[in-house]
Structure 1
Amino acid sequence: MMKFWKRKLESNDALPQEIVIQGEGRSGGKTRTRVALIATVFFGVYAVIGGRLVYYGLATPEESAGPASRVTASRPDIVDRNGEVLATDIKTASLFAEPKRIVDVDEVVEKLSTVLPELKHEQTYNKLKTKQGFVWLKRQLTPKQQADIMALGLPGIGFRSEKRRFYPGGETASHILGLTNVDNKGIAGLEKFVDDQGLADLQASGLAIPRDLQPVQLSIDNRVQHIMRDELVQAVNRYHAIAAGAVVLNAKTGEVVALASVPDFDPNNPFNALDKDRFNRMTAGVFEMGSTIKSFTTAMALDSGRMNLNSTVDASRPITIGRQTIRDFHGKHRVLTVPEVFIYSSNIGSAKEADVVGIDGHREFMHRMGLLDKLQTELPEIAKPTEPRVWKKVHSITISFGHGMSTTPLQTAVGAAALMNGGKLIPPTFLPRTQAEADAIGKQVVSAKTVEDMRYLYRLNAEVGSGKRAEVAGYRVGGKTGTAEKVENGRYSKNKKFNAFLAAFPMDDPTYIVLSIIDEPQPEKPGMPATAGLNAAPIVANIIRRSANFLGVSPRFDEGDAAQMVSLPAED
């Protein structure tokens, strides 16, 4: 019995040890399992968070915020006739916000204003308080603005890469090229024309892919364009005028080689593009073109067959019709030949030339020359000419010397081209055109004999008439002045003039028409008049002198020109 309990006791003594040892083993395993499980869960959670952070950090704004947009639609480059870039796309950044991610709206508005002071506080505040998913704050930032905003470290603020239009020449060809809006859509000038030709549809369908867009080539020569604008800016300052404009037109093809109107605007920063004085006067304005219209009156009389260069008219006395009396500015008070009517710019003589043709014939001829119908060309900004609803004799008389009807300067140049190029009226174009294409669309409007006579009169007027200041030695310039009184409060003003000079060169085979206008010029010096021969004609001369070489016209000096070579001013 004692042995039994002894063995039992010995067994019981060993039992607790075994139990303790086994219990410690199970508890340690479970603990390690729990730790491993918890570590795995935490690692997984943080891995997901880290992964999402990496994802959001690498995601582009287009992928992570904002609706799909067409603002990044590409546009083709626009180049001049020599391939020089006039307009192109560049990448820019635009600022957006995700209001739902913004904690302190006041702080964001305040800090953004330090970089973008032009932001409207109330409008921006209201945008950010909407808690929408995406709102635009500022489109087309400069690189510095983008960098400064990034340095602010604002949550809920991001950038989207977009395309914007860049014009390397700035103001140089602004009225021709026009503008795009903030969404890179053409809204004026040839930019709008390009959209209307199908680019807008390509953009809408997502097919406006940069590599597939061929450059749009213009007929413009950027070198001549630069010269022209420079001369116009100088003329406005020299003659204290409110505006000036000019065009160089290929008389044989109808190609516009250069066209400018100042004041203009910088299409890269068009904040003042809609100012009332910055419109394109060459196409979007209609004016009484003054005595330049006498070119067409004389051509009409000659083309009718009722007059020739030897015909005469009596300009000894003024013409009175109703309450109006027609006088000459510098009257000769005698009988004048047709060439004298032209070089002395006789209003009386022009009125009698129109009377020979008659009222109906006069109106028909002006329409035939394209002066009274809306011009058809690529530029969208085209004004419609004005004329009397019913022509009476008084209208025919006043229109004969450029009063009583209004037309655009460009179509005045187009009509003059027909008087110089062999008699064909060719629609103007801002795109390249071959001679064959021009011949196919040109409409014969006057005879070859009329063209020959008008070339003679143009050259004569530059040699001995009112166009002497348009002469450029070696280039055989011809032309006609036009000094028109402006209408103010329903009456012609003696103090406000709209002057023009209509020229062609070289006169042995006229290739180019150059027309200048200057609005409300003042005398260059005290005591001098402010007529077209003293301001509009020199503008043309300077344009021709500086650009003829680029136009491919070489000077030719005969014995009569040799002496003038010595007196030419030095070129810059």
Structure 2
Amino acid sequence: MIWKHARRQAILIDGDRRSSVFMAQSRLSILGVCFALGYLLVMVRLLDLAVVQNESLFQEPLNAAVARAQDIKSLTPRRGDIYDRHGFLLATTLKTPSLFVDPSLVFDETSLSVSLMKIIPDLNRSKMSSVVQGKNRFGWIAHNITPAQQQAVLEIGDPSLGFKYEYKRVYPQGSLFAHLVGYTDRDGLGLAGIERGYDDVLSAGEDVHLSLDLRLQHVVRRELGTAMEEFTAKAGSGIILDVHTGEVLAGVSLPDFDLNAAGDAEDREIFNRLTLGVYELGSMFKIFSTAALLELHNVPMSKTFDARKPLKIGRFTISDYHAKKRVLTIPEVFMYSSNIGSALMGQMIGGKALRAFYADLGLLDAMRFDIREIGRPIVPKIWRKSTTLTASYGHGLATTPLQMSAAVASIVNGGMAVHPVLIKVDEGAIAQTDVRVISEETSEKMRKLLRLVVTKGTGRNADVKGYALGGKTGTAEKSVGGYYRRDKLISSFVGAFPMDNPRYVLMVMVDEPHGNKKSYGYATAGWVAAPAVKRILTSMASILGLPADKYDADNDMAVSLEPYIHDKKKKKKKIGGKSLVSY
């Protein structure tokens, strides 16, 4: 009896044990299934991130660098805008889409390439193929595409394509301000013009307001282009400068290029002839040698110089292009642009004094300006006695059109040194510097002489009645291979107005013009550059609302110089007189 009871108890204990083991095994199985489902969910999520959403957890270091660069770029400030003096937009930054591809998701390379080239015609087929066939998970197809192109790409519906947004520099005025505004690279680094000169300011997100006037810029570019076309010229430059503040109101170099496609421009288009190109500008230097004579020696206008025969300097001869072959007064030397008379003036001044005078005007050193494309003047290393004679009429010296304009401004504005600026000067600012280069008396004498050139001398084709323009022609032969060529000229005219109280300097330079029927075959400054300045002044007066004075020839400021002019016979008042061909 006792044995049966014990056996029953043993059976019950064994059943309980088996039940516990079974329950434990069941719980472990359920837990294992849960872990398996968890791992499965993680793998599904990873697959979704890597393939469906086109984000790989295992991208190569290059792609990681691209991503980091994108993040860093997004933290930099948007580049500042550039405006003209009246608030017209010249340069701005827009956020635009750039197209990329994930080569691992490309199904039909040929079909994709054909479709994309229809949308973006300037794509390079071979370059695109190398990107599409690449082993990386990321490759650029095209940067800064248009909204219309982006929409067309989206309509393809290809999962291998995607977009990232980048900043793009945009220039609404195209080529109008090419050389002064300049351009940036794709990453926003300034490479030329004010974009380079003020890169630190613009990169910090600050806007820049220039001294330039969009309306005047258009006029100078149009009239310079007209002169180049009319005389089939190689190149040219033009400028309008405020003689008191030094502000550049317009500055053009032709040929130019579209800033929105700067990468496609040729070297001859990129070259800035206004500030970087240095040229022998010929008789314009007679302005400075004459001013030096009047300032340093205080000679009367009746002072004479014997221009009856050429001057001999060693094996070289100084002669006049249109010789008068007589003794000339100072006004006559200047009006007829006599090389012989100017050389004799230089001899009287002396080499040391003449060189110092040119240096004070900033003609012998590279000037400081708001852009970095600045040319260094070409000056003889050794200043000999012969150099003094030839430098008095601009032979053997080369400078930039910008420097020439600034030096003329210093002569006509009362004698105060002018330093050109490209940044807008605050309203009311008048005196830019307190450095005097000549006296007010000498400045007034020079204004009369400059006016005389336009009323009776080589600059008559620049005259605009009622605006008292004064100026000087300059025609120089270019040096090619060490020899001066009569068939390759630099023809220029620089003027200022109104001469009784000058406010603006205007200059046009034309490189290698060719004579035509209208100019009787001549390609000199009086025929080429002077008329262009006249057209610029006429349009400028209309734009700025400058009223013309009632012209009275008897009260012209140049009339006081007539007693010093000794022509034996009266000249006919007609355009085409031979005095226009004088250099």
* TM-score, length of structure 2 as denominator length: 0.81
Alignment-mate amino acid for residue 170 of structure 1? G
* Pair 1:394-2:386 in alignment: yes
Render the CA deviation track for 1:95-131: whole Å, top value 9, x for unaligned.
Answer: 1223344455555444433433433333333333332
C-alpha deviation, 1:65, in angstroms: 8.2
- Say whether the 8 Å CA contact 1:418–1:445 is kept in structure 2: yes
* Pair 1:449-2:441 in alignment: yes
- Taking structure 1 as reference, are residues 116 and 558 closer, same or farther at Cα in structure 2, changes over 3 Å only? closer
From 476, 479, 482, the counterpart of 2:468: 476
Alignment-mate amino acid for residue 535 of structure 1? V
C-alpha deviation, 1:198, in angstroms: 4.0
From 162, 177, 180, the counterpart of 2:184: 180
Instruction: Give the corresponding residue for 2:169.
Output: 165
Instruction: Give the corresponding residue for 1:3.
Output: none
- Taking structure 1 as reference, are residues 390 and 47 closer, same or farther at Cα in structure 2, changes over 3 Å only? closer
Q: Percent identity?
A: 39
Distance 1:271 1:292 in 2: 36
Structure 2 counterpart SS, 1:68: helix
- Say whether the 8 Å CA contact 2:280–2:396 is kept in structure 1: yes
C-alpha deviation, 1:150, in angstroms: 2.5
Distance 2:309 2:228 in 1: 37
Distance 1:480 1:428 in 2: 20
From 518, 538, 547, the counterpart of 2:531: 538
Render the CA deviation track for 1:320-347: whole Å, top value 9, x for unaligned.
Answer: 0011000001111111000100000000
- Say whether the 8 Å CA contact 1:71–1:184 is kept in structure 2: no
Distance 2:380 2:191 in 1: 33
Structure 1 gap ranges (5+):
1-32, 203-207, 563-572
- Taking structure 1 as reference, are residues 98 and 485 closer, same or farther at Cα in structure 2, changes over 3 Å only? same
C-alpha deviation, 1:379, in angstroms: 1.4
Worse overlay, 170-179 or 426-435: 426-435
* Pair 1:189-2:193 in alignment: yes
Worse overlay, 250-259 or 86-95: 86-95
Instruction: Give the corresponding residue for 1:553.
Output: 546
Instruction: Give the corresponding residue for 2:283.
Output: 291
Instruction: Give the corresponding residue for 2:522.
Output: 529
Instruction: Give the corresponding residue for 1:148.
Output: 152
Alignment-mate amino acid for residue 67 of structure 2? G
Structure 2 gap ranges (5+):
1-29, 56-62, 556-583
Distance 1:517 1:268 in 2: 27
Distance 2:66 2:271 in 1: 40
Render the CA deviation track for 1:409-431: whole Å, top value 9, x for unaligned.
Answer: 00000000000111111210011
Distance 2:421 2:65 in 1: 46
Matches within 5 A, 1:481-520: 481-520=473-512
- Say whether the 8 Å CA contact 1:309–1:338 is kept in structure 2: yes
From 113, 116, 127, the counterpart of 2:117: 113
* Pair 1:85-2:89 in alignment: yes
Alignment-mate amino acid for residue 554 of structure 1? P
Distance 1:282 1:223 in 2: 19
Alignment-mate amino acid for residue 547 of structure 2? S
- Say whether the 8 Å CA contact 2:281–2:399 is kept in structure 1: yes
Matches within 5 A, 1:119-518: 119-195=123-199, 197-200=200-203, 202=204, 208=205, 213=206, 215-305=207-297, 307-434=299-426, 439=431, 441-518=433-510
Alignment-mate amino acid for residue 233 of structure 1? G
Render the CA deviation track for 1:47-70: whole Å, top value 9, x for unaligned.
Answer: 969996999499xxx999834336
- Say whether the 8 Å CA contact 1:354–1:396 is kept in structure 2: yes
- Taking structure 1 as reference, are residues 561 and 268 closer, same or farther at Cα in structure 2, changes over 3 Å only? farther
Alignment-mate amino acid for residue 175 of structure 1? H
- Taking structure 1 as reference, are residues 386 and 455 closer, same or farther at Cα in structure 2, changes over 3 Å only? same
- Say whether the 8 Å CA contact 1:501–1:517 is kept in structure 2: yes
Alignment-mate amino acid for residue 99 of structure 1? P
Instruction: Give the corresponding residue for 1:66.
Output: 67
Structure 2 counterpart SS, 1:92: strand
Alignment-mate amino acid for residue 145 of structure 1? Q
Structure 2 counterpart SS, 1:475: coil
